[in-house]
Amino acid sequence: MRLNDLIQFLLSVAPAHLQEDYDNAGLITGHQDMEISGVLVCLDAIESIVDEAILLGCNVIVAHHPIVFRGLKRFNGNNYIERTIIKAIKNDIAIFAIHTNLDNVFISGVNTKIAEKLGLKDTSILCPKGDLTYRSLPVGAGMIGSAKPSMDPIAFLHHLKSSMELKIIKHTAICKEKINKVAICGGSGGFLLNHAKKQGADIFITSDYKYHEYFDADGDIIIADIGHFESEKYTIDLLYDLIINNFSTFATHYTKIVTNPIKYF
């Protein structure tokens, strides 16, 4: 099985043209004609993940986050990005990233997985990308759905914490009597707050909020920041399932390394 076969399949799920302008999704190291010996699925393709791939005999890493966002001018191993790329190239390991293009699709997308974990119903894209469609469905950022039945806000926060296996939730004041509509965005989704408000969401679940940005809830909505890694960690499940359900000629592994750089004391 050639790497290009796997790449074309993944791009059929989340086409490259759906990624954001700032993104660097796609094949970062390796060649599309290389034969696959094994695949390791992860969120962050950092140096320890390359070590894990070597140990498992995998020559392909499928990651959500691209290890390289901007051009590299030197390869001296002076930072974690350079060390990762050098090790991957030395060991003939391909790194393929499927990032904001996977965020932006409705079927088998990052936010679809979160909605599934939370049991949301009647889901739709929170911020559709104009007239752009894929598989006859709108594509875009975030998702909104219904909590059925509606829940007491504190009960919903307990549900959120349990469903997403969270250690902590940072949230704004409880300003709703019931949680009916739920807006979500895996990763950094603060730019979608007004969309969540306009669509009548009672709570907006995302990550990477700064202190002053919490004031933007302004008594209209509950903001729940669950952490970047925590919001996207089930993307590993999503990618793993997509690959093992469609390819049987090579072994696919789910990383055992927690790459979250944030620790809780």
Q: 47-83: per-residue pLDDT in tens?
A: 999 999 999 999 999 999 999 998 888 899 999 999 9
Q: What is the pLDDT of residue 138?
A: 92
Q: What is the pLDDT of residue 136?
A: 73
Q: What is the pLDDT of residue 133?
A: 75
Q: What is the pLDDT of residue 131?
A: 74
Per-residue 3-state assignment (H helix, E strand, C coil) for the chain: CEHHHHHHHHHHHCCHHHCCCCCCCEEEECCCCCECCEEEEEEECCHHHHHHHHHHCCCEEEEEECCCCCCCCCCCCCCHHHHHHHHHHHCCCEEEECCHHHHCCCCCCHHHHHHHHHCCEEEEEEEEEEEEEECCEEEEEEEEEEEEEEECHHHHHHHHHHHCCCCCCEECCCCCCCEEEEEEEEEECHHHHHHHHHCCCCEEEEECCCHHHHHHHCCCCEEEECCHHHHHCCHHHHHHHHHHCCCCCCEEEECCCCCCCCCCC
Query: Per residue in 204-255, pLDDT tens?
Result: 999 999 999 999 999 999 999 999 999 999 999 999 999 999 999 999 999 9
Mean pLDDT, all residues of the chain: 96
Whether 132 shows a pLDDT value over 90: the answer reads no
Q: Which domains does the chain have, with CATH numbers?
A: 3-102 (3.40.1390.30), 104-229 (3.40.1390.30)
Query: Per residue in 85-111, pLDDT tens?
Result: 999 999 999 999 999 999 999 999 999
Q: What is the pLDDT of residue 102?
A: 97
